[in-house]
């Protein structure tokens, strides 16, 4: 029998088997039959029949002799080899286990890196010039999960020292640390840097990092949210609603910023202690005195964050034109990359090369946003854009009145810019060397930072990073700690079908074919 006969026969049987399997899977899957998958089944059928025909025609006599021969010697030889390989593998694993007690590292293969500290926390730890002493006051039964959490900080920096104390076994330590026993329900972390200390009861990366920042950052910067023009509320009535900004305020306070409301018409000027002024979704015009005060703030090198929704009845067009920003009278729609197929709630995953977005990897989510573009010669640059299939719908009467929209000749084709950032001088051009430029970020949507959406995808990071950059806190710009969640990937229907096709048919058959080839190669080896 020819050496190739057994290989051809085995491959032929394999092809026939996958032809039958793939056809049955397509037939009973409940999905529409696809031409490319049917071609795969028919191709396997033809190839299988041809290979088996060749094998039978060229090696019938040899096949009969092969089937009557014994295989005891080969089985014994390979059985001994398998035993020796197993023993060697066990010895290798034992050696690795021993080495792991002397040398260690950490791996985190979760999609959201849930079990690792974020780059923001790493930056804080890298900037430490004094040791951080963390005393974990937990009963022994509650200590293991806290110990695992704190090991991430110990591994990330030699400056972090951790000690566990059982309050019941060592009550004297409570007096030494000045901790009230009434605060020990469930346990507490005592964080000390240079004699200054704070207590953290919520064991989370955000809370612990915030505590370290509070002990290391001596100055507190202040962010003012303008009010009086139907802006989103950060406190009081409506702040806790879905459209409110209570969560946005909390996110900034976690960065150790002081956040307050500002009725500019009553003050007459932006307060001297202000570092950033935020216009969070105004829908009514500003008073003339407010326009002038805001312009003086910009002329003096102040920082401004503007979040403005479509059809907002404001009178900021003059400011936008002077600053060098085009705010479109449109609504950004995307039928392909909209949340649950809703075009007016598009994902935006195209980020510019800017410090605000440099570390963002996932999409941000917007809701009823308008375009914000950069005209020629503007000192601004686009930092967030929607997908290629999106567009800026300018027939707003039809969109709001009839709920219909189509990309037309007058519309803005995608990708559509929905956020810009830049530094400008009072005359609206890029700052010259030595000047104190004003910093500005303009978003065509306020909903992305509302209570309803700020914790979705990368919205919180995008909002807080924008304020960080406006404040000059470049080292604080990063990705905040995420919540544990199942790994996920967003696929179109076509991508899903391609992965299904590869995983069910192509890859398994390739693996099986390599297995057949390995079996055939071993049979042909000398002495077998």
Share of the chain above pLDDT 90, in %: 34
Distance CA(468)–CA(516), nearest Å, equals 59
Question: pTM for the full model?
Answer: 0.63
Of the ranges 244-253, 409-418, 511-520, which one carries the lowest mean pLDDT score? Answer: 511-520
253-275: pLDDT as tens digits: 877 789 999 999 999 999 999 99
53-63: pLDDT as tens digits: 777 777 655 54
Distance CA(130)–CA(216), nearest Å, equals 9
415-432: pLDDT as tens digits: 999 999 999 876 656 655
Distance CA(449)–CA(305), nearest Å, equals 12
The confidence score (pLDDT) of residue 307 equals: 96
Distance CA(193)–CA(129), nearest Å, equals 10
Mean pLDDT of 436-452: 93
Place 72 in a pLDDT band, splitting at 50, 70 and 90: very low
> Are 66 and 1 a contacting pair, CB within 8 Å?
yes
Mean pLDDT of 247-253: 91
Place 93 in a pLDDT band, splitting at 50, 70 and 90: confident
Residue 106's SS3 state is coil
Taking CA atoms, 427 is separated from 279, 316, 372, 421, in Å, by 21, 16, 20, 17
The confidence score (pLDDT) of residue 489 equals: 57
The confidence score (pLDDT) of residue 486 equals: 47
Residue 192: name the closest of 153, 150, 162 by CA: 162
The confidence score (pLDDT) of residue 106 equals: 65
Place 516 in a pLDDT band, splitting at 50, 70 and 90: confident
111-129: pLDDT as tens digits: 556 667 777 788 888 888 8
- Same fold flag, 119-214 and 219-327+369-387+417-476: no
Domain boundaries, the chain: 3-69+500-524, 119-214, 219-327+369-387+417-476
Q: Are strands 326-327 and 303-307 parallel, antiparallel or unpaired?
A: unpaired
Q: What are phi and psi of 348, to 5 degrees?
A: -130, 115
Place 16 in a pLDDT band, splitting at 50, 70 and 90: confident
Q: Are strands 347-348 and 364-365 parallel, antiparallel or unpaired?
A: antiparallel
286-299: pLDDT as tens digits: 999 999 999 999 99
Residue 222: name the closest of 284, 272, 160 by CA: 272
CB atoms within 10 A of CB 440: 24
Distance CA(459)–CA(483), nearest Å, equals 14
Residue with tokens 């299988």: 48
Residue with tokens 């609603």: 241
The number of residues making up the chain comes to: 528
> Are 308 and 316 a contacting pair, CB within 8 Å?
yes
pLDDT of 76 over the 80 cut: no
Q: What architecture is domain 119-214?
A: 3-Layer(aba) Sandwich (3.40)
When the pLDDT of each residue in the chain is averaged and rounded to a whole number, the result is 82
> Are 245 and 234 a contacting pair, CB within 8 Å?
yes
The CATH topology of domain 219-327+369-387+417-476 is: Rossmann fold (3.40.50)
Mean pLDDT of 294-314: 93
187-236: pLDDT as tens digits: 888 899 888 888 887 888 878 887 888 788 767 789 999 999 999 999 99
What are 393's strand-pairing partners? Answer: 331
CB within 8 A of 297, min separation 6: which ones? 269, 270, 274, 277, 304, 438
């Amino acid at each position: 029998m020819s050496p190739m006969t057994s290989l051809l026969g085995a491959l032929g049987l394999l092809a026939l088997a996958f032809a039958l399997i793939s056809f049955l899977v397509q037939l009973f899957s409940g999905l529409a039959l696809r031409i490319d998958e049917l071609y795969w089944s028919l191709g396997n059928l033809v190839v299988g029949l041809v290979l088996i025909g060749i094998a039978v025609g060229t090696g019938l006599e040899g096949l009969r002799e092969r089937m009557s021969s014994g295989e005891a010697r080969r089985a014994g030889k390979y059985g001994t080899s398998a035993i020796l390989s197993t023993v060697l593998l066990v010895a290798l694993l034992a050696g690795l286990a021993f080495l792991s007690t002397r040398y260690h590292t950490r791996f985190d293969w979760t999609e959201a890196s849930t079990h690792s500290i974020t780059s923001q926390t790493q930056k804080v730890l890298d900037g430490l010039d004094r040791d951080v002493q963390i005393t974990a006051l937990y009963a022994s039964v509650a200590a293991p999960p806290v110990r695992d959490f704190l090991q991430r900080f110990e591994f990330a920096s030699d400056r972090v020292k951790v000690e566990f104390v059982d309050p019941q076994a060592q009550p004297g330590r409570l007096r030494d640390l000045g901790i009230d026993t009434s605060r020990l329900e469930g346990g507490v972390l005592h964080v000390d840097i240079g004699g200054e200390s704070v207590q953290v009861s919520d064991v989370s990366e955000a809370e612990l990092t915030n505590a370290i920042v509070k002990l290391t950052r001596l100055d507190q910067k202040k962010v003012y949210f303008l009010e009086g023009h139907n802006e989103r509320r950060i406190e009081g009535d409506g702040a806790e609603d879905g459209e409110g900004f209570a969560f946005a305020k909390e996110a900034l306070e976690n960065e150790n910023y002081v956040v307050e409301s500002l009725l500019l018409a009553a003050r007459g000027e932006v307060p001297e202690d202000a570092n950033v002024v935020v216009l969070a979704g105004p829908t009514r015009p500003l008073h003339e005195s407010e326009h002038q005060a805001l312009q003086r703030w910009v002329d003096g090198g102040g920082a401004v964050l503007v979040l403005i929704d479509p059809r907002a009845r404001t009178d900021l067009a003059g400011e936008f034109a002077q600053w060098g920003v085009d705010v479109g009278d449109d609504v950004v729609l995307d039928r392909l990359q909209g949340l649950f197929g809703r075009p007016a709630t598009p994902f935006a995953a195209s980020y510019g090369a800017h410090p605000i977005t440099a570390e963002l990897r996932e999409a941000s989510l917007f809701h009823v946003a308008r375009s914000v573009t950069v005209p020629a010669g503007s000192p601004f640059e686009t930092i967030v854009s929607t997908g290629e299939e999106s567009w800026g719908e300018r027939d707003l009467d039809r969109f709001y009145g009839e709920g219909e929209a189509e990309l037309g000749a007058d519309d803005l084709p995608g990708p559509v810019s929905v956020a810009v950032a830049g530094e400008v001088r009072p005359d609206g051009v890029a700052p010259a060397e030595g000047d104190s430029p004003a910093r500005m970020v303009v978003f065509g949507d306020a909903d992305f930072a509302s209570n309803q959406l700020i914790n979705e995808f990368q919205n919180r990071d995008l909002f807080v990073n924008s304020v960080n950059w406006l404040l000059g806190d470049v080292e604080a710009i990063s990705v905040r700690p995420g919540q544990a969640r199942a790994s996920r990937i967003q696929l179109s229907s076509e991508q899903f079908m391609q992965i299904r096709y590869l995983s069910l048919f192509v890859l398994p058959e390739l693996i099986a074919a390599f297995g057949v080839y390995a079996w055939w190669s071993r049979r042909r080896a000398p002495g077998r």
